[in-house]
């Protein structure tokens, strides 16, 4: 292996073309064939009765989800974004209301607020974990606050006890965006089951997936009913379910039988896949003890499933800008990037229609989120289909760039 950096003309650590992450097995294929043979690819009726709840595969997925996460009500939908939309609607969010969301996370967490005619209010995040800061959440809440969206970012739960205590005190609902942390625990409780509604993703990039899909969970039977009405044209069924006076409406957010058939068996693999990812992440952490590059901060009394592996990168200590360091690691053959995320408030729908600021974005009102974006390297390389030797190669690529950081710095001068 050449000691010269690949970015400067040397031989890369790896020329491997990394395979697509694929955990679809024989069980999923058999379940899908069962659906195809039945000819019933979706089985919703937008009228009161058993088929208002969907077909047999959808209902099986919801039953298995209840068992896996210890909740009484799970509602499958066509995406996690749909789940967030339905959750806020179920919580009564509408025109004139405000919903607090963290600055770091997927844009859907704010887009669904505006879709309901409400206004998103953004709160700061803690820089090392990138998770919602409860102290700043308290400052952002006001008399119009109807709900808060909490994002369990990168695979680790946010500080839910503090957030739920504040919600009880101020009288707002909590919706968990748990797209990135399925199976993670917060003080022994599954992330996504602690707030009033928890939303999970089955998108193709997630640890378990069915292409596109999502599941919303709740302990509250009334919220569960409202979720189901919103999923399936609820305005046609409101009277039958006792909510006509509130004039509820619904959309088509339904999950197909084909997608549910895949998701049922993907759910059964979640613990195994998470365990493999955690093993790889811990191996990577153990292999890297480098000045200026810190591993993900672990929050006490939680587990981390490492959907994203996020380093804190201190450019002054390393002597190389984060973008250049990441580019050098990519040249060695590994998908490492700088400046994770963006400030949601700087996206055009929320900033008055301006073009977003170039990375790394920053704002003086959000110092924690700004620092998290600025001082970060990240990768989604760690997936269960890879080997531990692949993880070792990634670690060597990062060490190699770090060893030759002075040559890298001179090349950019």
Residue extents of the structural domains in the chain: 6-14+270-412, 26-268
Burial 16-51 (b: 16+ CB within 10 A, else e): eeeeebebeeeebeebbeebeeeeeebbbeeeeeee
- Which residues have C-beta within 8 Å of that of residue 66, sequence separation ≥ 6? 72, 73, 74, 217
How far is the C-alpha of 155 from the C-alpha of 105, rounded, in Å?
12
Tell how strand 173-177 and strand 145-151 pair up: parallel
For the segment(s) 6-14+270-412, the CATH number from 3.40.50.450, 3.90.1150.10, 3.40.50.1980, 1.10.3720.10 is 3.90.1150.10
Query: Two tokens at 36?
Result: 């195809």
Cα distances (angstroms) measured from residue 372 to each of 97, 186, 265: 29, 22, 36
Q: Which of 133, 73, 75 is nearest to 102 (CA)?
A: 133
Question: Cα-Cα-Cα-Cα dihedral of 320, 326, 327, 328, to 10°?
Answer: 70
pLDDT of residue 48: 86
How far is the C-alpha of 44 from the C-alpha of 114, rounded, in Å?
28
Up-side HSE of residue 390: CA atoms within 13 Å toward CB?
Answer: 19
For the segment(s) 26-268, the CATH number from 3.40.50.2000, 3.40.640.10, 3.40.50.410, 2.30.30.760 is 3.40.640.10
- Which residues have C-beta within 8 Å of that of residue 20, sequence separation ≥ 6? none
| pLDDT tens, residue order, the chain (413 aa) | 568 999 999 999 999 999 888 999 999 999 999 999 999 999 998 888 888 999 999 999 999 999 999 999 999 999 999 999 999 999 999 999 999 999 999 999 999 999 999 999 999 999 999 999 999 999 999 999 999 999 999 999 999 999 999 999 999 999 999 999 999 999 999 999 999 999 999 999 999 999 999 999 999 999 999 999 999 998 888 788 877 766 678 999 999 999 999 999 999 999 999 999 999 999 999 999 999 999 999 999 999 999 999 999 999 999 999 999 999 999 999 999 999 999 999 999 999 899 999 889 999 999 999 999 999 999 999 999 999 999 999 999 999 999 999 999 999 87
pLDDT of residue 50: 85
Up-side HSE of residue 187: CA atoms within 13 Å toward CB?
Answer: 7
How far is the C-alpha of 152 from the C-alpha of 159, rounded, in Å?
9
Place of tokens 């190669």: 393
pTM of the entire predicted model: 0.96
Three-state secondary structure of the chain:
CCCCCHHHCCCCCCCCCCCCCCCCCHHHHHHHHHHHHHCCCCCCCCCCCHHHHCCHHHHHHHHHHHHHHCCCEEEEECCHHHHHHHHHHHCCCCCCCEEEEECCCCCHHHHHHHHCCCEEEEECECCCCCCECHHHHHHHCCCCEEEEEEECHHHCCCCHHHHHHHHHHHCCEEEEECCCCCCCEECCEECCCCCCEEEEECCCCCCCCCCCCEEEEECCHHHHHHHHHHHECHHHCCCCCCCHHHCCCCCECCCCHHHHHHHHHHHHCHHHHHHHHHHHHHHHHHHCCECCEECCCCCCCECCCCCCEEEEECHHHHCCCHHHHHHHHHHCCCCEEECCCCCHHHCCCCCCCCCCCCCCCCCCCCHHHHHHHHCEEEECCCCCCCCHHHHHHHHHHHHHHHHCHHHHHHHHC
pLDDT of residue 348: 92
Place of tokens 């800061």: 133
Provide Rg for the chain, Cα atoms: 22
């Amino acid at each position: 292996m050449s000691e010269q950096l690949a970015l400067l003309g040397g031989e890369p650590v790896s020329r491997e073309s990394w395979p697509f992450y694929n955990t679809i097995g024989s069980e999923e294929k058999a379940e899908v064939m069962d659906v195809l043979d039945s000819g019933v690819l979706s089985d919703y009726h937008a009228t009161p009765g058993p088929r208002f709840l969907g077909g047999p595969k959808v209902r099986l997925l919801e039953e298995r989800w209840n068992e896996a996460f210890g909740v009484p009500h799970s509602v499958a939908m066509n995406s996690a974004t749909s789940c967030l939309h339905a959750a806020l609607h179920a919580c009564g969010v509408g025109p004139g209301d405000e919903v607090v969301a963290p600055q770091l996370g997927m844009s859907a967490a704010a887009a669904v607020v505006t879709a309901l005619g409400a206004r998103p209010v953004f709160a700061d995040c803690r820089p090392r974990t990138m998770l919602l800061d409860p102290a700043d959440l308290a400052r952002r809440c006001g008399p119009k606050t109807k709900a808060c969206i909490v994002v369990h970012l990168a695979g680790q739960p946010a500080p839910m006890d503090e957030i739920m205590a504040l919600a009880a005190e101020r009288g707002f609902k909590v919706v968990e965006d748990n797209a990135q942390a399925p199976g993670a625990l917060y003080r022994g409780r599954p992330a996504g089951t602690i707030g009033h509604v928890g939303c999970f993703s089955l998108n193709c990039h997630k640890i378990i997936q069915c292409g596109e899909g999502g599941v919303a969970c709740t302990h509250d039977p009334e919220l569960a009913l409202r979720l189901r009405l919103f999923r399936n044209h609820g305005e046609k069924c409101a009277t039958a379910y006792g909510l006509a006076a509130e004039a509820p409406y619904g959309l088509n957010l339904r999950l197909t039988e084909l997608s549910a058939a895949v998701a049922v068996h993907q759910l059964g693999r979640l613990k195994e896949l998470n365990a493999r990812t955690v093993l790889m992440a811990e191996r990577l952490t153990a292999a890297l003890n480098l000045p200026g590059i810190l591993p993900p901060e672990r929050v006490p009394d939680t587990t981390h499933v490492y959907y994203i592996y996020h380093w804190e990168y201190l450019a002054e200590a390393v002597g190389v800008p984060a973008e250049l360091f990441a580019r050098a690691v990519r040249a060695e053959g590994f998908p490492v990037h700088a400046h994770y995320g963006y400030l949601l408030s700087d996206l055009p729908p929320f900033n008055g229609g301006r073009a977003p600021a170039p990375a790394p974005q920053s704002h003086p009102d959000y110092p924690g989120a700004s620092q998290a974006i600025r001082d970060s390297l990240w990768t989604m390389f760690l997936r269960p289909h890879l080997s531990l030797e692949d993880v070792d190669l990634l670690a060597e690529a990062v060490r190699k760039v770090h060893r030759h950081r002075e040559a890298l710095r001179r090349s950019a001068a």
